[in-house]
Amino acid sequence: MTTKRTFRVWRGSGEGELVHYEVEVNEGEVVLDVLHRLQATQVPDLAVRWNCKAGKCGSCSVEINGRPRLSCMTRMSTFEPEEPITITPMRTFPVIRDLVCDVSFNYQKAREIPSFTPDPGTEPGDFRMAQADVERSQEFRKCIECFLCQNVCHVIRDHEENKEHFSGPRYLIRVTELEMHPEDTADRRTISQEEFGLGYCNITKCCTEVCPEHIKITDNGLIPLKERVADRKYDPLVWLGSKIGLRKGADTPIAPNTRKPSSAPEQ
Amino acid sequence: MTSTLPPPENPNATRAHISQRTFRTDRWWLGPLLTALGLAVFLVYATARVFQQDHYWVAEHHYLTPFYSPCLAAQCEPGSAIFGTLPWEFPWFIPYAIVSMPFLLLFRFTCYYYRKAYYRSIWQAPTACAVREPHARYTGESRFPMLGQNLHRYFFYAAFLIALINTYDAFAALLFGGENGGVGIGVGNLILFTNVVLLWCYTLSCHSCRHVFGGRLKSFGSNPVRYWMWTQISRINPWHMTFAWVTLGTLMLTDLYVALVASGVITDLRIFN
Ligand code: SF4
Ligand code: SF4
Ligand code: FES
Ligand code: FES
Protein backbone atom coordinates (compact mmCIF):
# COMPACT_ATOMS: atom_id res chain seq x y z
CA MET A 1 0.00 0.00 0.00
CA THR A 2 1.40 3.38 -1.01
CA THR A 3 0.43 6.65 0.64
CA LYS A 4 1.59 10.26 0.54
CA ARG A 5 2.98 11.58 3.81
CA THR A 6 4.04 15.04 4.95
CA PHE A 7 7.65 15.31 6.04
CA ARG A 8 9.14 18.42 7.63
CA VAL A 9 12.89 18.15 7.27
CA TRP A 10 15.64 20.44 8.56
CA ARG A 11 17.56 21.95 5.64
CA GLY A 12 20.73 24.01 5.77
CA SER A 13 23.26 24.66 8.52
CA GLY A 14 22.58 25.70 12.10
CA GLU A 15 20.70 28.68 10.67
CA GLY A 16 18.55 26.40 8.54
CA GLU A 17 14.80 25.86 8.60
CA LEU A 18 12.16 23.17 8.35
CA VAL A 19 11.04 22.49 4.77
CA HIS A 20 7.81 20.65 3.94
CA TYR A 21 7.77 17.75 1.48
CA GLU A 22 5.11 15.32 0.33
CA VAL A 23 6.71 11.91 -0.07
CA GLU A 24 5.48 8.49 -1.06
CA VAL A 25 5.59 5.86 1.67
CA ASN A 26 5.21 2.12 1.10
CA GLU A 27 4.19 -0.54 3.53
CA GLY A 28 6.97 -1.85 5.77
CA GLU A 29 9.29 1.11 5.32
CA VAL A 30 11.39 2.87 7.91
CA VAL A 31 12.07 6.60 8.13
CA LEU A 32 15.48 6.23 6.49
CA ASP A 33 13.84 4.62 3.43
CA VAL A 34 11.61 7.64 3.06
CA LEU A 35 14.55 10.04 3.41
CA HIS A 36 16.30 8.10 0.66
CA ARG A 37 13.24 8.37 -1.57
CA LEU A 38 13.13 12.08 -0.89
CA GLN A 39 16.77 12.29 -1.91
CA ALA A 40 16.19 10.21 -5.04
CA THR A 41 13.08 12.00 -6.25
CA GLN A 42 13.00 15.59 -4.97
CA VAL A 43 16.10 16.92 -3.21
CA PRO A 44 19.25 15.22 -4.49
CA ASP A 45 21.42 17.38 -2.24
CA LEU A 46 19.78 16.30 1.04
CA ALA A 47 22.58 15.32 3.44
CA VAL A 48 21.84 12.18 5.47
CA ARG A 49 24.38 10.03 7.29
CA TRP A 50 23.84 6.27 7.24
CA ASN A 51 25.69 3.01 6.71
CA CYS A 52 24.25 -0.30 7.77
CA LYS A 53 20.46 0.13 7.73
CA ALA A 54 20.42 -2.51 10.43
CA GLY A 55 20.73 -0.52 13.65
CA LYS A 56 24.31 -1.57 14.15
CA CYS A 57 26.58 1.22 12.88
CA GLY A 58 25.11 4.13 14.82
CA SER A 59 25.38 6.60 11.91
CA CYS A 60 21.78 7.50 11.23
CA SER A 61 20.86 9.22 14.52
CA VAL A 62 18.36 12.06 14.08
CA GLU A 63 15.35 13.39 15.95
CA ILE A 64 12.00 12.17 14.70
CA ASN A 65 8.98 14.04 16.05
CA GLY A 66 11.23 15.34 18.76
CA ARG A 67 12.53 11.96 19.87
CA PRO A 68 16.17 10.99 19.35
CA ARG A 69 16.07 7.79 17.26
CA LEU A 70 17.96 5.73 14.71
CA SER A 71 16.17 6.55 11.47
CA CYS A 72 16.84 3.08 10.08
CA MET A 73 15.07 1.47 13.03
CA THR A 74 12.01 3.73 13.17
CA ARG A 75 9.10 2.11 11.36
CA MET A 76 6.66 4.33 9.52
CA SER A 77 3.83 2.16 10.86
CA THR A 78 4.42 3.58 14.36
CA PHE A 79 2.96 6.96 13.35
CA GLU A 80 -0.67 7.95 13.01
CA PRO A 81 -1.82 7.80 9.36
CA GLU A 82 -2.22 11.58 8.96
CA GLU A 83 0.54 12.67 11.32
CA PRO A 84 3.19 14.94 9.75
CA ILE A 85 6.70 13.78 10.55
CA THR A 86 9.33 16.25 11.71
CA ILE A 87 12.98 15.33 11.21
CA THR A 88 15.73 17.44 12.72
CA PRO A 89 19.43 16.84 13.27
CA MET A 90 20.62 16.02 16.80
CA ARG A 91 20.27 19.24 18.78
CA THR A 92 23.36 18.92 20.93
CA PHE A 93 25.95 18.92 18.15
CA PRO A 94 26.83 21.54 15.50
CA VAL A 95 25.13 20.96 12.16
CA ILE A 96 27.37 20.47 9.15
CA ARG A 97 24.47 20.34 6.77
CA ASP A 98 20.84 19.21 6.85
CA LEU A 99 20.67 16.12 9.06
CA VAL A 100 24.42 15.61 9.44
CA CYS A 101 26.12 16.76 12.65
CA ASP A 102 29.73 17.25 13.64
CA VAL A 103 30.16 14.79 16.49
CA SER A 104 33.86 15.49 17.25
CA PHE A 105 32.88 16.41 20.81
CA ASN A 106 32.48 12.71 21.48
CA TYR A 107 35.87 11.73 20.10
CA GLN A 108 37.49 14.42 22.20
CA LYS A 109 35.83 13.06 25.35
CA ALA A 110 36.79 9.49 24.41
CA ARG A 111 40.49 10.33 24.24
CA GLU A 112 40.60 11.81 27.72
CA ILE A 113 39.83 8.50 29.43
CA PRO A 114 42.91 6.64 30.72
CA SER A 115 42.88 3.34 28.86
CA PHE A 116 42.99 -0.19 30.28
CA THR A 117 46.00 -0.37 32.61
CA PRO A 118 46.99 -3.91 33.59
CA ASP A 119 49.71 -4.65 36.10
CA PRO A 120 52.95 -4.27 34.10
CA GLY A 121 54.19 -7.53 35.64
CA THR A 122 51.60 -9.61 33.80
CA GLU A 123 52.34 -11.27 30.47
CA PRO A 124 49.88 -11.76 27.64
CA GLY A 125 47.94 -14.91 28.40
CA ASP A 126 48.18 -14.47 32.17
CA PHE A 127 44.63 -13.21 32.69
CA ARG A 128 41.88 -15.53 33.78
CA MET A 129 38.53 -13.79 34.08
CA ALA A 130 35.40 -15.32 35.57
CA GLN A 131 32.42 -15.33 33.26
CA ALA A 132 30.56 -13.09 35.71
CA ASP A 133 33.22 -10.40 35.34
CA VAL A 134 33.18 -10.67 31.55
CA GLU A 135 29.41 -10.28 31.42
CA ARG A 136 29.43 -7.23 33.60
CA SER A 137 31.49 -5.13 31.20
CA GLN A 138 30.09 -6.86 28.13
CA GLU A 139 26.88 -4.91 28.52
CA PHE A 140 28.73 -1.65 27.89
CA ARG A 141 30.62 -3.13 24.95
CA LYS A 142 27.33 -3.36 23.06
CA CYS A 143 27.47 0.40 22.52
CA ILE A 144 27.32 1.32 18.81
CA GLU A 145 28.33 4.97 19.41
CA CYS A 146 25.18 6.39 17.93
CA PHE A 147 25.54 9.30 20.41
CA LEU A 148 21.80 9.43 20.99
CA CYS A 149 22.43 9.33 24.73
CA GLN A 150 24.95 12.16 24.44
CA ASN A 151 22.41 14.09 22.41
CA VAL A 152 19.44 13.64 24.73
CA CYS A 153 21.32 14.35 27.96
CA HIS A 154 19.95 17.65 29.24
CA VAL A 155 23.25 18.51 30.93
CA ILE A 156 24.76 19.49 27.59
CA ARG A 157 21.68 19.58 25.38
CA ASP A 158 20.12 22.44 27.30
CA HIS A 159 23.38 23.95 28.57
CA GLU A 160 26.00 24.13 25.89
CA GLU A 161 28.42 25.74 28.35
CA ASN A 162 28.61 22.44 30.27
CA LYS A 163 30.19 20.61 27.34
CA GLU A 164 33.64 21.45 28.57
CA HIS A 165 32.98 19.91 31.99
CA PHE A 166 30.88 16.89 31.13
CA SER A 167 31.85 13.80 29.14
CA GLY A 168 28.32 12.48 28.73
CA PRO A 169 26.75 9.10 29.51
CA ARG A 170 28.48 7.18 26.75
CA TYR A 171 31.94 8.03 28.11
CA LEU A 172 30.99 7.72 31.74
CA ILE A 173 29.93 4.11 31.11
CA ARG A 174 33.24 3.57 29.36
CA VAL A 175 34.88 4.63 32.63
CA THR A 176 32.58 2.31 34.59
CA GLU A 177 33.50 -0.56 32.30
CA LEU A 178 37.21 -0.04 32.92
CA GLU A 179 36.70 0.42 36.65
CA MET A 180 34.89 -2.93 36.78
CA HIS A 181 37.68 -4.78 35.00
CA PRO A 182 39.36 -7.18 37.47
CA GLU A 183 42.81 -6.79 35.89
CA ASP A 184 42.76 -3.00 35.64
CA THR A 185 44.95 -1.11 38.12
CA ALA A 186 44.10 2.52 37.37
CA ASP A 187 41.81 4.50 39.67
CA ARG A 188 39.56 6.78 37.64
CA ARG A 189 37.13 7.66 40.40
CA THR A 190 38.44 11.12 41.19
CA ILE A 191 38.68 12.19 37.55
CA SER A 192 35.19 10.80 36.92
CA GLN A 193 33.88 13.43 39.26
CA GLU A 194 36.35 16.26 38.74
CA GLU A 195 37.20 16.03 35.04
CA PHE A 196 34.43 14.01 33.43
CA GLY A 197 31.63 15.71 35.34
CA LEU A 198 29.77 12.73 36.78
CA GLY A 199 28.26 15.07 39.38
CA TYR A 200 26.38 16.93 36.63
CA CYS A 201 24.33 13.84 35.89
CA ASN A 202 21.13 13.86 37.93
CA ILE A 203 20.19 10.28 36.99
CA THR A 204 17.00 11.28 35.22
CA LYS A 205 17.53 8.34 32.85
CA CYS A 206 16.91 9.90 29.45
CA CYS A 207 20.10 8.24 28.18
CA THR A 208 18.73 4.84 29.14
CA GLU A 209 15.40 5.64 27.47
CA VAL A 210 16.95 6.37 24.08
CA CYS A 211 19.72 3.76 23.92
CA PRO A 212 18.99 1.54 20.89
CA GLU A 213 21.17 -1.20 22.39
CA HIS A 214 19.08 -1.16 25.58
CA ILE A 215 22.13 -0.68 27.75
CA LYS A 216 21.02 0.08 31.31
CA ILE A 217 23.23 3.15 31.27
CA THR A 218 21.92 4.66 34.49
CA ASP A 219 21.27 1.60 36.66
CA ASN A 220 24.33 -0.42 35.70
CA GLY A 221 26.77 2.32 34.73
CA LEU A 222 26.19 5.79 36.13
CA ILE A 223 24.77 4.87 39.53
CA PRO A 224 27.47 2.26 40.26
CA LEU A 225 30.05 4.85 39.23
CA LYS A 226 28.46 7.45 41.53
CA GLU A 227 28.65 4.91 44.33
CA ARG A 228 32.33 4.27 43.61
CA VAL A 229 33.02 7.99 43.61
CA ALA A 230 31.25 8.21 46.96
CA ASP A 231 33.59 5.45 48.22
CA ARG A 232 36.57 7.48 47.17
CA LYS A 233 35.54 11.06 47.87
CA TYR A 234 32.63 11.18 50.29
CA ASP A 235 33.36 8.37 52.72
CA PRO A 236 34.56 9.78 56.06
CA LEU A 237 36.72 6.75 56.81
CA VAL A 238 38.50 6.86 53.47
CA TRP A 239 38.93 10.59 53.86
CA LEU A 240 40.48 10.12 57.29
CA GLY A 241 42.71 7.37 55.93
CA SER A 242 44.03 9.58 53.17
CA LYS A 243 44.64 12.41 55.66
CA ILE A 244 46.81 10.22 57.85
CA GLY A 245 48.47 8.54 54.89
CA LEU A 246 46.84 5.11 55.12
CA ARG A 247 45.31 5.06 51.68
CA LYS A 248 47.22 3.07 49.10
CA GLY A 249 47.24 3.76 45.38
CA ALA A 250 47.01 7.08 43.62
CA ASP A 251 44.32 8.75 41.54
CA THR A 252 44.98 8.33 37.83
CA PRO A 253 45.00 11.64 35.93
CA ILE A 254 43.23 12.06 32.57
CA ALA A 255 45.09 10.78 29.53
CA PRO A 256 47.98 13.17 28.81
CA ASN A 257 47.90 15.65 25.92
CA THR A 258 44.25 15.23 25.22
CA ARG A 259 43.05 18.68 26.20
CA LYS A 260 43.94 22.08 24.96
CA PRO A 261 46.21 23.66 27.59
CA SER A 262 43.65 26.35 28.46
CA SER A 263 41.26 23.83 29.98
CA ALA A 264 43.90 21.61 31.60
CA PRO A 265 45.92 23.79 33.98
CA GLU A 266 47.94 20.82 35.22
CA GLN A 267 49.89 20.64 31.97
CA MET B 1 54.70 12.77 23.56
CA THR B 2 52.81 13.52 20.39
CA SER B 3 49.56 15.32 20.75
CA THR B 4 46.47 13.17 20.61
CA LEU B 5 44.11 16.09 20.22
CA PRO B 6 41.40 15.25 17.72
CA PRO B 7 40.72 17.57 14.79
CA PRO B 8 38.81 20.54 16.19
CA GLU B 9 35.11 21.08 15.66
CA ASN B 10 34.38 23.32 12.71
CA PRO B 11 34.30 26.75 14.39
CA ASN B 12 31.67 28.07 11.98
CA ALA B 13 29.18 25.28 12.51
CA THR B 14 26.53 25.87 15.15
CA ARG B 15 23.74 23.81 16.58
CA ALA B 16 20.40 23.88 14.85
CA HIS B 17 18.64 27.06 15.94
CA ILE B 18 15.27 25.70 16.90
CA SER B 19 13.08 27.85 19.10
CA GLN B 20 10.40 25.25 19.86
CA ARG B 21 10.82 23.69 23.26
CA THR B 22 10.27 20.26 21.78
CA PHE B 23 8.81 18.60 18.70
CA ARG B 24 7.49 15.72 20.75
CA THR B 25 3.88 14.99 19.93
CA ASP B 26 3.09 12.54 22.73
CA ARG B 27 1.76 13.54 26.15
CA TRP B 28 5.18 13.93 27.73
CA TRP B 29 3.82 16.13 30.52
CA LEU B 30 1.53 13.43 31.89
CA GLY B 31 4.18 11.36 33.68
CA PRO B 32 5.72 14.30 35.57
CA LEU B 33 2.26 15.60 36.46
CA LEU B 34 1.14 12.29 37.96
CA THR B 35 4.46 11.98 39.79
CA ALA B 36 4.09 15.42 41.35
CA LEU B 37 0.51 14.64 42.39
CA GLY B 38 1.50 11.28 43.87
CA LEU B 39 4.33 12.78 45.90
CA ALA B 40 2.08 15.62 47.08
CA VAL B 41 -0.62 13.22 48.30
CA PHE B 42 1.88 11.30 50.36
CA LEU B 43 3.55 14.39 51.80
CA VAL B 44 0.26 15.94 52.86
CA TYR B 45 -1.02 12.72 54.40
CA ALA B 46 2.24 11.89 56.17
CA THR B 47 2.68 15.40 57.56
CA ALA B 48 -0.85 15.48 58.87
CA ARG B 49 -0.51 12.12 60.54
CA VAL B 50 2.96 12.56 62.00
CA PHE B 51 1.95 15.76 63.77
CA GLN B 52 -1.47 14.53 64.83
CA GLN B 53 0.05 12.62 67.78
CA ASP B 54 -3.04 10.49 68.21
CA HIS B 55 -4.65 7.26 66.95
CA TYR B 56 -1.35 5.52 66.34
CA TRP B 57 -1.65 2.56 68.70
CA VAL B 58 -4.26 -0.16 69.12
CA ALA B 59 -3.48 -1.53 72.58
CA GLU B 60 -5.88 -4.45 72.29
CA HIS B 61 -4.17 -5.93 69.23
CA HIS B 62 -0.73 -4.41 69.65
CA TYR B 63 -0.89 -2.53 66.35
CA LEU B 64 1.56 0.36 65.98
CA THR B 65 1.59 2.46 62.83
CA PRO B 66 4.99 2.69 61.10
CA PHE B 67 4.79 6.49 61.33
CA TYR B 68 5.18 6.27 65.12
CA SER B 69 7.74 3.52 65.37
CA PRO B 70 9.75 3.60 67.58
CA CYS B 71 7.62 5.79 69.83
CA LEU B 72 9.89 7.82 72.09
CA ALA B 73 7.90 10.65 73.65
CA ALA B 74 6.99 10.53 77.35
CA GLN B 75 3.31 10.72 76.37
CA CYS B 76 3.47 7.57 74.15
CA GLU B 77 0.65 5.25 75.11
CA PRO B 78 1.66 2.43 77.45
CA GLY B 79 2.93 -0.59 75.50
CA SER B 80 3.59 1.32 72.29
CA ALA B 81 7.18 2.28 73.13
CA ILE B 82 9.36 -0.77 72.55
CA PHE B 83 12.55 0.94 73.63
CA GLY B 84 10.93 2.82 76.49
CA THR B 85 10.43 6.56 76.29
CA LEU B 86 12.52 9.64 76.82
CA PRO B 87 11.72 11.56 80.01
CA TRP B 88 10.23 14.55 78.15
CA GLU B 89 6.80 15.24 76.74
CA PHE B 90 7.18 16.17 73.05
CA PRO B 91 5.53 19.43 71.91
CA TRP B 92 3.21 19.20 68.87
CA PHE B 93 5.94 19.92 66.33
CA ILE B 94 8.23 17.03 67.30
CA PRO B 95 7.16 13.66 65.88
CA TYR B 96 7.00 10.88 68.46
CA ALA B 97 9.27 8.79 66.22
CA ILE B 98 11.92 11.48 66.21
CA VAL B 99 14.83 9.08 65.61
CA SER B 100 13.35 7.30 62.62
CA MET B 101 11.27 9.90 60.74
CA PRO B 102 14.14 12.23 59.69
CA PHE B 103 16.26 9.32 58.47
CA LEU B 104 13.42 7.74 56.55
CA LEU B 105 12.67 11.07 54.95
CA LEU B 106 16.32 11.57 53.98
CA PHE B 107 16.56 7.96 52.79
CA ARG B 108 13.74 8.55 50.37
CA PHE B 109 14.84 12.07 49.51
CA THR B 110 18.31 10.91 48.45
CA CYS B 111 17.04 7.69 46.83
CA TYR B 112 18.21 7.42 43.24
CA TYR B 113 14.67 6.78 42.06
CA TYR B 114 13.00 9.61 43.98
CA ARG B 115 15.75 11.92 42.81
CA LYS B 116 14.83 11.14 39.24
CA ALA B 117 11.15 11.61 40.11
CA TYR B 118 11.42 15.04 41.70
CA TYR B 119 14.16 16.36 39.46
CA ARG B 120 11.84 15.69 36.56
CA SER B 121 8.44 16.53 37.96
CA ILE B 122 9.20 19.30 40.44
CA TRP B 123 12.57 20.80 39.58
CA GLN B 124 11.92 20.26 35.87
CA ALA B 125 15.50 19.40 35.00
CA PRO B 126 14.44 18.03 32.57
CA THR B 127 10.63 17.75 32.63
CA ALA B 128 10.81 14.99 30.04
CA CYS B 129 13.49 13.70 27.70
CA ALA B 130 14.31 16.00 24.79
CA VAL B 131 12.09 18.74 26.22
CA ARG B 132 14.04 21.91 26.92
CA GLU B 133 14.29 22.68 30.62
CA PRO B 134 13.43 26.13 31.93
CA HIS B 135 16.71 26.80 33.79
CA ALA B 136 19.39 29.20 32.59
CA ARG B 137 22.18 27.45 34.48
CA TYR B 138 22.64 23.86 35.52
CA THR B 139 25.26 22.16 37.68
CA GLY B 140 23.30 19.09 38.77
CA GLU B 141 24.74 17.29 41.75
CA SER B 142 28.26 18.65 41.30
CA ARG B 143 28.07 21.45 43.91
CA PHE B 144 27.07 21.93 47.52
CA PRO B 145 24.30 21.37 48.69
CA MET B 146 23.43 18.77 46.03
CA LEU B 147 26.70 16.97 46.77
CA GLY B 148 24.86 15.75 49.85
CA GLN B 149 23.05 13.22 47.64
CA ASN B 150 26.26 11.19 47.90
CA LEU B 151 25.37 10.43 51.52
CA HIS B 152 22.55 8.13 50.42
CA ARG B 153 24.33 5.00 51.65
CA TYR B 154 24.38 6.26 55.25
CA PHE B 155 20.63 6.78 55.15
CA PHE B 156 20.38 3.30 53.71
CA TYR B 157 22.16 1.91 56.78
CA ALA B 158 19.74 3.80 59.02
CA ALA B 159 16.74 2.63 57.01
CA PHE B 160 17.95 -0.94 57.30
CA LEU B 161 17.89 -0.68 61.10
CA ILE B 162 14.47 0.98 61.03
CA ALA B 163 13.14 -1.82 58.82
CA LEU B 164 14.27 -4.24 61.54
CA ILE B 165 12.21 -2.27 64.07
CA ASN B 166 9.17 -2.36 61.76
CA THR B 167 9.65 -6.10 61.43
CA TYR B 168 9.70 -6.42 65.20
CA ASP B 169 6.47 -4.39 65.39
CA ALA B 170 4.76 -6.72 62.94
CA PHE B 171 5.85 -9.81 64.88
CA ALA B 172 4.94 -8.24 68.22
CA ALA B 173 1.41 -7.61 66.94
CA LEU B 174 1.16 -11.27 65.92
CA LEU B 175 2.59 -12.72 69.13
CA PHE B 176 1.04 -10.42 71.73
CA GLY B 177 -2.01 -9.06 69.95
CA GLY B 178 -4.47 -11.89 70.60
CA GLU B 179 -6.76 -12.37 73.57
CA ASN B 180 -4.99 -11.99 76.93
CA GLY B 181 -1.81 -10.95 75.15
CA GLY B 182 -1.31 -14.25 73.33
CA VAL B 183 -0.97 -15.11 69.66
CA GLY B 184 -3.65 -13.68 67.41
CA ILE B 185 -4.30 -12.89 63.77
CA GLY B 186 -6.52 -10.19 62.40
CA VAL B 187 -6.75 -8.21 59.18
CA GLY B 188 -4.46 -5.67 60.80
CA ASN B 189 -1.72 -8.28 61.13
CA LEU B 190 -1.94 -9.12 57.45
CA ILE B 191 -1.67 -5.44 56.60
CA LEU B 192 1.30 -4.90 58.92
CA PHE B 193 3.10 -7.90 57.44
CA THR B 194 2.44 -6.95 53.83
CA ASN B 195 3.76 -3.51 54.58
CA VAL B 196 6.92 -4.84 56.21
CA VAL B 197 7.64 -7.28 53.39
CA LEU B 198 7.29 -4.50 50.83
CA LEU B 199 9.43 -2.16 52.92
CA TRP B 200 12.16 -4.78 52.82
CA CYS B 201 11.76 -5.11 49.07
CA TYR B 202 12.19 -1.37 48.72
CA THR B 203 15.13 -1.17 51.13
CA LEU B 204 17.01 -4.16 49.72
CA SER B 205 16.53 -3.16 46.08
CA CYS B 206 18.29 0.15 46.82
CA HIS B 207 21.24 0.96 44.56
CA SER B 208 23.50 1.70 47.53
CA CYS B 209 22.59 -1.69 48.97
CA ARG B 210 23.50 -3.30 45.66
CA HIS B 211 26.81 -1.49 45.80
CA VAL B 212 27.79 -2.35 49.36
CA PHE B 213 26.83 -6.01 49.09
CA GLY B 214 28.84 -6.66 45.94
CA GLY B 215 28.70 -3.92 43.35
CA ARG B 216 31.81 -2.23 44.65
CA LEU B 217 33.99 -5.26 43.86
CA LYS B 218 36.36 -5.17 40.93
CA SER B 219 36.28 -8.94 40.66
CA PHE B 220 33.25 -11.16 41.16
CA GLY B 221 35.24 -14.30 40.35
CA SER B 222 37.21 -14.09 43.59
CA ASN B 223 34.22 -13.23 45.81
CA PRO B 224 31.56 -15.88 45.15
CA VAL B 225 29.43 -15.15 48.24
CA ARG B 226 29.19 -11.43 47.63
CA TYR B 227 28.64 -12.12 43.95
CA TRP B 228 25.70 -14.28 44.88
CA MET B 229 24.27 -11.55 47.11
CA TRP B 230 24.79 -8.97 44.36
CA THR B 231 22.99 -11.26 41.92
CA GLN B 232 19.97 -11.55 44.22
CA ILE B 233 19.83 -7.79 44.79
CA SER B 234 20.26 -7.20 41.06
CA ARG B 235 17.14 -9.27 40.49
CA ILE B 236 14.94 -6.93 42.53
CA ASN B 237 16.82 -3.72 41.77
CA PRO B 238 15.01 -3.12 38.43
CA TRP B 239 11.76 -3.04 40.46
CA HIS B 240 13.01 -0.34 42.78
CA MET B 241 10.77 2.32 41.27
CA THR B 242 7.74 0.06 41.61
CA PHE B 243 8.57 -0.64 45.26
CA ALA B 244 9.11 3.07 45.84
CA TRP B 245 5.52 3.80 44.81
CA VAL B 246 3.94 0.68 46.26
CA THR B 247 5.47 1.33 49.68
CA LEU B 248 4.21 4.91 49.69
CA GLY B 249 0.77 3.38 49.18
CA THR B 250 1.13 0.62 51.75
CA LEU B 251 2.56 3.00 54.33
CA MET B 252 -0.48 5.22 53.97
CA LEU B 253 -2.91 2.30 53.98
CA THR B 254 -1.30 0.66 57.00
CA ASP B 255 -1.34 3.90 58.89
CA LEU B 256 -4.91 4.62 57.87
CA TYR B 257 -6.07 1.19 59.02
CA VAL B 258 -4.37 1.57 62.39
CA ALA B 259 -5.77 5.08 62.74
CA LEU B 260 -9.32 3.93 61.95
CA VAL B 261 -9.14 1.03 64.38
CA ALA B 262 -7.46 3.12 67.08
CA SER B 263 -10.07 5.84 66.84
CA GLY B 264 -12.89 3.32 66.96
CA VAL B 265 -14.29 4.08 63.50
CA ILE B 266 -13.93 0.43 62.49
CA THR B 267 -13.18 -2.70 64.46
CA ASP B 268 -10.43 -5.07 63.47
CA LEU B 269 -11.71 -8.23 61.80
CA ARG B 270 -10.19 -11.12 63.69
CA ILE B 271 -9.29 -14.38 61.98
CA PHE B 272 -7.87 -16.11 65.02
CA ASN B 273 -8.08 -14.98 68.64
S1 SF4 C 1 20.88 10.03 33.48
FE2 SF4 C 1 22.58 11.47 33.65
S3 SF4 C 1 23.84 11.10 31.85
FE4 SF4 C 1 21.85 10.11 31.48
S5 SF4 C 1 20.68 11.65 30.35
FE6 SF4 C 1 20.20 11.92 32.52
S7 SF4 C 1 21.64 13.47 33.29
FE8 SF4 C 1 22.43 12.73 31.31
S1 SF4 D 1 25.29 3.98 25.02
FE2 SF4 D 1 23.55 3.49 23.70
S3 SF4 D 1 22.72 5.49 23.14
FE4 SF4 D 1 24.75 5.86 23.93
S5 SF4 D 1 26.08 5.89 22.15
FE6 SF4 D 1 26.09 3.79 22.96
S7 SF4 D 1 24.47 2.73 21.84
FE8 SF4 D 1 24.15 4.91 21.51
S1 FES E 1 22.21 3.11 9.36
FE2 FES E 1 23.48 2.02 10.74
S3 FES E 1 22.39 2.31 12.61
FE4 FES E 1 21.05 3.21 11.16
S1 FES F 1 16.54 3.78 48.31
FE2 FES F 1 16.27 4.18 46.21
S3 FES F 1 18.30 3.96 45.55
FE4 FES F 1 18.59 3.66 47.64
Segment A39-48, tens digit of pLDDT:
999 999 999 9
Give the mean pLDDT of A78-101.
Answer: 96
- Report pLDDT for A259: 84
Among the residue ranges A183-192, A258-267, B142-151, the one predicted with the least confidence is A258-267
Query: Can you give the three-state secondary structure of chain A, one letter per residue?
Result: CEEEEEEEEEECCCCCEEEEEEEEEECCCEHHHHHHHHHHHCCCCCCCCCCCCCCCCCCCEEEECCEEEEHHHCEHHHCCCCCCEEEECCCCCCEEECCEECCHHHHHHHHCCCCCCECCCCCCCCCCCCHHHHHHHHHHHCCCCCCHHHHHCHHHHCCHHHHHHCCCHHHHHHHHHHHCCCCECCCCHHHHHHCCCHHHCCCCCHHHHHCCCCCCHHHHHHHHHHHHHHHHHCCHHHHHHHHCCCCCCCCCCCCCCCCCHHHCCCC
Ligand 3 atom index nearest CA of A61: 4
Q: Evaluate: CB of A211 within 6 angstroms of ligand 2.
A: yes
In this complex, which of A14, A199, A209 lies closest to B14 when CB atoms are compared? A14
Q: Which chain A residues contact residue B7 at CB under 8 A?
A: 104
Cβ neighbours for B83, distance < 8 A, ≥ 6 positions apart: B70, B72
**How confident is residue A83, by pLDDT bands cut at 50, 70 and 90?**
very high
Task: Decide which of A152 and B4 is more confident.
Answer: A152
Is A266 a residue whose pLDDT tops 60? no
B57, containing H or E segment: strand B57-58
Q: Which of A31, A50, A69, A75 to mutate to test the pocket of ligand 3 (most atoms within 8 A of CB)?
A: A50
Closest B-chain CA to A257: B3
Low-confidence ranges of chain B (pLDDT < 70): 1-6
Indicate whether residue A186 lines ligand 3 (CB < 6 A). Answer: no
Q: What is the pLDDT of residues A97-129, one digit of tens each?
A: 999 999 999 999 999 999 999 999 998 888 889
Q: What is the pLDDT of residue A263?
A: 52
Radius of gyration of chain B (CA): 24
Closest-CA residue of A relative to B142 is A199
Check: CB of residue A194 under 8 Å from CB of residue A138. Answer: no
Position A267 confidence tier, pLDDT thresholds 50, 70, 90: very low
Query: A32: CA distance to ligand 3 center in Å?
Result: 9
More confident residue, A147 or A1: A147
How many CB atoms sit inside 10 A of residue B153's CB?
20
Closest ligand relative to B107 C-alpha: 4
Name the minimum distance, in Å, from the CA of A207 to any CA of chain B: 9
A68 shares contact with chain B (CB less than 8 Å): yes
Distance from CA of B130 to the nearest CA of A (A): 6
**Chain A positions in Cβ-Cβ contact with residue B18 (cut-off 8 Å):** 88, 91
d(CA B91, CA B97): 13
**Is the minimum CB–CB distance between A164 and chain B shorter than 8 Å?**
no
Report the percentage of chain A scoring pLDDT > 90. 85
- Rounded Cα distance, B69 and B80, in Å: 8
B256: exposed, middle or buried (C-beta count within 10 Å: 0-12, 13-18, 19+)?
middle
Minimal-distance CA residue to ligand 2 atom 4: A149
Q: What is the reported pLDDT for B11?
A: 81
Please check whether residue B254 is in contact with residue B45, taking contact to mean a CB–CB distance below 8 angstroms. no
Integer Cα distance of B188 and B268 in angstroms: 7
